[in-house]
Structure 1
Amino acid sequence: MKWIALVLCVILISLQYRLWFGQSSYQKIQLQQQKIQQISTENQELANRNKKLFAEIEDLRKGVEAVEERARYQLGMIKEGETFFRLLNKDPD
């Protein structure tokens, strides 16, 4: 009877060791779940960014307004016949 109890204790200890310190321990599983959550969040952010970029590309392909807006704000271009006014802040010196 003592041998059976001893064998059961050894089995219990080995299972507990595996649970807390082994290759598939509770801590490692938690770390992997955190990594999965982080990667999923990053993937969702990148997917949203891609959707915005695809929408902008589609707008640039189909619409003239988007191209005109970029030319005005990024390149400083003006249309023919328009008057350009530049407002300067007066220095309080």
Structure 2
Amino acid sequence: MRWPALIFFLLLCALQYPLWFGHGGWQHVRKAEHELTVLQEANDKIALRNAEMAAEVKDLKSGYDAIEDKARFELGLVKPGEVFVQIPEPISADKTH
């Protein structure tokens, strides 16, 4: 009676080994879930960036106000007849050396 139980136990262990340690086992699944989480976070950041860019494109296509703001702040352009005044930041004692 002892031998069949031992054979059954060894057979059960042999069948369980791939589940725990083989390809597709719990360790592999856990690693894949971690990689999936990292990729989903990266996709979320990219989707947010794409949404911001799409909103900017929509603003640029809809009118001249967005184009004018972009030209003024990013390129430093002024309209004819305007005077550009730049006020420098005061130099602190820490930045002189």
- Write the distance in 2 (CA, Å) between the matches of 1:90 and 1:14: 76
- Amino acid corresponding to residue 27 of structure 2 in structure 1: Q
User: Using the alignment, how far apart are the partners of 2:53 and 2:90 within structure 1?
Assistant: 39
User: What SS class does the counterpart of residue 4 from structure 1 fall into?
Assistant: helix
Between 1:9-18 and 1:20-29, the stretch displaced more is: 9-18
Identical positions, percent: 34
Higher mean alpha-carbon deviation, 78-87 vs 54-63, is at 78-87
Please give the TM-score of this superposition, normalised by the length of structure 1: 0.84
2:22 counterpart of 1:22: yes
Aligned partner of 2:46 in structure 1 is: 46
Structure 1 segments, 4+ long, off by >3 Å, are 88-93
1:58 maps to 58
Write the letter of the residue equivalent to 1:45. Answer: K
Aligned length: 93
Runs (5+) with no aligned partner, structure 1? none
Query: How far apart are residue 28 of structure 1 and its match?
Result: 0.7
Measure, in 2, the Cα distance between the counterparts of 1:38 and 1:88: 43
Going from structure 1 to structure 2, the CA distance change for 1:46 and 1:88 (only over 3 Å counts) comes to closer
CA–CA distance in structure 2, aligned partners of residues 40 and 23 of structure 1: 23
Worse overlay, 7-16 or 44-53: 7-16
Paired AA for residue 78 in structure 2: I
**Counterpart residue number, 1:9:** 9
The amino acid that maps onto 1:9 is F
